């Protein structure tokens, strides 16, 4: 059993171990936040009150047993949880206050859309994913003049799972596409631990002006399995 499955196999571990670990990881990553980002956040988070309020609401939601059960019992619900984080990161990458780059990573005249369309597409995929996260068994149907129930929803559930994977891949690919563009605009090279991911994106169109992004998005989707292998190798080779 992998560590995540072990944590989520028991409600107490899920609630009292995994969630605090996620919070601790976020606090640790905050140490590496650039100074300009901390300054921007401070404008709307005086004394940390807004941050603590948001974190408290999130923690309160995930302390509800029904929410934990849904995330564990429904793969689609669990997928939606991770997809929402990916979509949020994509949005942050377009914020000048956080990246120091132009809004929407646009390089043309003011008012250019840059990669704004990716945010729309990610939001659409996330909305569809959340809709598919509803348990298939909620659709109980009485048939044969009310004498029987069509109780097996295996086909519907498998269809929902298939759709969930498709939508998650869309969100992750769009986040990768936007992140690669931001790195190029920043002039950041492909040093470790980014070398493998940057190499996979090397053949994407280098043009930064407003243009259709469909071809690059399709390449990103197709390369997701290779990216997953790169991430596993980086994590596996990291010192523990």
Rg (CA), the chain: 21
CATH 1.20.200.10 domain extents, the chain:
74-240
Give me the pLDDT at residue 13, please. Answer: 80
Nearest alpha-carbon partner for 203 in 185, 174, 188, 223: 223
Q: Residue 103 forms beta bridges with which residues?
A: none
Residues 12, 141: Cα–Cα separation, whole Å? 35
CATH architecture entry for 74-240: Up-down Bundle (1.20)
8-state DSSP, 187 = T
Nearest alpha-carbon partner for 159 in 126, 127, 133: 133
8-state DSSP, 103 = G
Residue 19 C-alpha from the chain's centroid: 17
Give me the pLDDT at residue 132, please. Answer: 83
Residue showing tokens 């914020």: 95
Residues 59, 18: Cα–Cα separation, whole Å? 11
What's the residue count for the chain? 240
Give me the pLDDT at residue 239, please. Answer: 52
Residues 112, 135: Cα–Cα separation, whole Å? 41
Beta strands 141-143 and 148-150, pairing class: antiparallel
Q: Max Cα separation, the chain?
A: 68
- For residue 72, give both structure tokens: 């564990």
Full pLDDT tens readout for the chain, 240 residues: 677 777 777 777 877 887 777 777 766 666 666 666 667 666 666 666 776 776 777 677 777 777 767 766 677 777 887 888 888 889 888 888 888 899 899 988 777 889 999 999 999 999 999 888 877 767 667 777 666 666 667 778 788 888 999 999 999 999 999 999 999 999 988 777 889 999 999 999 999 999 999 999 999 999 999 999 998 888 876 554
Q: Report the SS3 class of residue 149.
A: strand
Q: Model's pTM, two decimal places?
A: 0.71
């Amino acid at each position: 059993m992998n560590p995540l499955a072990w944590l989520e196999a028991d409600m107490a571990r899920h609630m009292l171990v995994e969630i605090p670990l996620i919070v601790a990881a976020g606090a640790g990553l905050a140490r590496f936040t650039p100074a300009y980002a901390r300054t921007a956040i401070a404008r709307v988070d005086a004394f940390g009150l807004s941050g603590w309020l948001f974190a408290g609401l999130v923690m309160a939601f995930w302390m509800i047993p029904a929410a934990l059960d849904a995330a564990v019992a429904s793969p689609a619900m669990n997928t939606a949880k991770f997809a929402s984080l990916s979509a949020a990161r994509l949005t942050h990458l377009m914020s000048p206050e956080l990246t120091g780059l132009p809004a929407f990573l646009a390089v043309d005249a003011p008012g250019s859309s840059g990669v704004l369309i990716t945010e729309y597409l990610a939001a659409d995929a996330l909305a569809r994913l959340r809709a598919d996260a509803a348990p298939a068994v909620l659709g109980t149907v009485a048939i044969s003049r009310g004498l029987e129930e069509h109780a097996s929803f295996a086909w519907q559930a498998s269809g929902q799972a298939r759709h969930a994977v498709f939508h998650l891949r869309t969100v992750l690919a769009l986040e990768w596409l936007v992140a690669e563009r931001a790195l190029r605009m920043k002039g950041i090279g492909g040093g470790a631990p980014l070398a493998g991911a940057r190499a996979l994106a090397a053949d994407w169109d280098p043009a930064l002006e407003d243009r259709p992004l469909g071809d690059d998005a399709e390449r990103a989707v197709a390369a997701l399995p290779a990216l997953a292998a790169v991430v596993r190798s980086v994590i596996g080779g990291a010192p523990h």
